[in-house]
Amino acid sequence: MKEFNVNPSAAGERKLYIETYGCQMNVADSEVVASIMEMDGYGQCGTPEDADAVLLNTCSIRDNAEQKVRETMGAVHGFRSDDKSGVYIWNRFNNYLQAMSANEILSMSVWIIGLLTLLSGIVGVSNIMFVSVRERTHEIGIRRAIGAKPRSILMQIVAESVAITTLFGYIGVVFGTGVTAVIAKLTEGTDFLKNPTVDLSTALNVTIVLIIAGAFAGLFPAIKATKVKPVEALRDE
């Protein structure tokens, strides 16, 4: 701890007491503050009891920083250091940590909701393709009968699934981009949700995810289509 008493205050001058905890950087900051306060008519004094203004400079991440502040303020104003109602302390570092924790929880929630939404979409597209394969059994049987290879049928079903997933996925992306653009306009100039818009890299990542999801959704219906026997398929009405 370092106490400043460089320029003792003159008679009738407002008095300033500075107490500094921490590293040399904090000491330098206190010297700057003392110079600024001196230009505003404050002279230095040696004890907090004699001061008109008391400044305590400490690192918010330093151990027991708040407790040291409470002890000093308690000695000046006559309250116990463990009395939380005696003085209100706004710790920006603790609030920053709480905000970061809240952002992490929000980000994790968004990821979970997004994954569940994607999973439900995959299941929905897969069911659509199963129905499509069932309704086109006769067509698949004809193609198999004239020499179509199972691979070509599999690729067709997977391609259709990818097309459906990508099309409706991009409809959702366009809608989401519009919503984020509106949010960005409403929160412009504030610290809340800075730049929530969708950039090009995000759009490319979404494209890759949609292609993979579409391929996965159509894989099992496509495998079922390749197992259709031509004779049984031709009998299907």
Contacts of 51 (CB under 8 A, 6+ apart): 15, 16, 17, 45
Element holding 32 (H helix, E strand): helix 24-39
The CA-atom distances, in angstroms, between 7 and each of 16, 59, 154 are 10, 25, 87
pLDDT band (50, 70, 90) for residue 55: confident
Question: Comparing 7-16, 47-56, 72-81, 160-169, which segment has the lowest mean pLDDT?
Answer: 7-16
pLDDT band (50, 70, 90) for residue 86: confident
Mind listing the pLDDT tens digit for each residue in 190-223?
666 666 677 777 777 888 888 888 888 888 888 8
Please indicate, yes or no, whether the overall pTM of this predicted structure exceeds 0.85. no
Phi, psi of 64 (to 5 degrees): 60, 30
Contacts of 232 (CB under 8 A, 6+ apart): 141
Mind listing the pLDDT tens digit for each residue in 96-142?
888 888 888 988 998 898 888 888 888 888 898 888 888 888 888 88
Whole-angstrom distance, CA of residue 198 vs CA of residue 92: 30
Mind listing the pLDDT tens digit for each residue in 5-24?
445 445 457 888 887 776 77
C-beta separation of 34 from 6 below 8 A: yes
Question: Comparing 85-94, 130-139, 148-157, which segment has the lowest mean pLDDT?
Answer: 85-94
State the pLDDT at residue 235: 66
Portion of the chain with pLDDT greater than 70, in percent: 85
Any idea which residue has 């997933």 for tokens?
165
Whole-angstrom distance, CA of residue 136 vs CA of residue 145: 14
State the pLDDT at residue 112: 92
State the pLDDT at residue 231: 72
